[in-house]
Amino acid sequence: MSTAPGFFVSFEGGDGAGKTTQARLLADWLGAVTGREVVVTREPGGTDLGREIRRLVLHGDHVAPRAEALLYAADRAHHVATLVRPALERGAVVVTDRYLDSSVAYQAGGRELAEDDVERLSRWGTDGLLPDVTVLLDLPPDVAASRRGGEPDRLERAGDDFHRRVRDAFLRRAAADPGRWLVVDGSGDVDDVQAQIRVDLASRLDLTPVVSEAVRTAGDAPRRESR
């Protein structure tokens, strides 16, 4: 867990689970209820260097599994050092669309590298920074696939078994650390899923007392986009 004055929320889940939409809606709400600066970001690609890595890892040719793990870890190391930690130290709320658990789910679960190795790599890269709360948007891979539009990227083309292993890995990690994870069924409509996330998060972060105050100030909070 982060010891900085801000707080750190990550969204995780399979491709097409709706993380990006839900992360943005949650960020707006957290800005309103806390009155803090909110930074919305993502992995891979939350920084200039990360955008280069994102292009290589998602839109390039074949990448060997260990190289893939190192590229995601490099993106994360730079992201944390230059964007996430400074924001947390300013007292901001940081909401990231994917973080370290994606590496464990995709590169260990999906690519079948050793889970300990993949986790250790990211923990080293980030100097041990973990989210205060991780929201898993859970959805069966076939439903998630049917929601995706456009040309599939390299990871989206990895096949049904790969995506089943990714989902199982996320669910196993969530079950092993219920203090950090909130598992939310991603199959409902956008507003229902968001409402569920807010209720769960408010009680987890002890925000309930400030929610009524926030009704007055909703929409006033500053927001900074990093992408």
d(C-alpha 63, C-alpha 126), whole Å: 23
Q: Which is nearer to ligand TYD, 6 or 14 (CB)?
A: 14
For 168, the enclosing helix (H) or strand (E) is: helix 160-176
Q: Which is nearer to ligand TYD, 70 or 207 (CB)?
A: 70
What minimum distance in Å lies between the beta carbon of 212 and ligand TYD?
Answer: 34
What minimum distance in Å lies between the beta carbon of 176 and ligand TYD?
Answer: 18
In contact, 201 and 132? CB cutoff 8 Å: no
d(C-alpha 29, C-alpha 195), whole Å: 11
What minimum distance in Å lies between the beta carbon of 107 and ligand TYD?
Answer: 6
Residue ranges in contact with ligand TYD by CB under 6 A: 15, 20, 43-44, 58, 72, 97-98, 102-103, 106-107, 155-156
Q: Which is nearer to ligand TYD, 51 or 222 (CB)?
A: 51
Q: Which is nearer to ligand TYD, 157 or 216 (CB)?
A: 157
Bridge partners of 181, per DSSP, are: 134
Q: Which of 100, 92, 112 is nearest to 75 (CA)?
A: 100
d(C-alpha 83, C-alpha 17), whole Å: 25
What minimum distance in Å lies between the beta carbon of 79 and ligand TYD?
Answer: 9
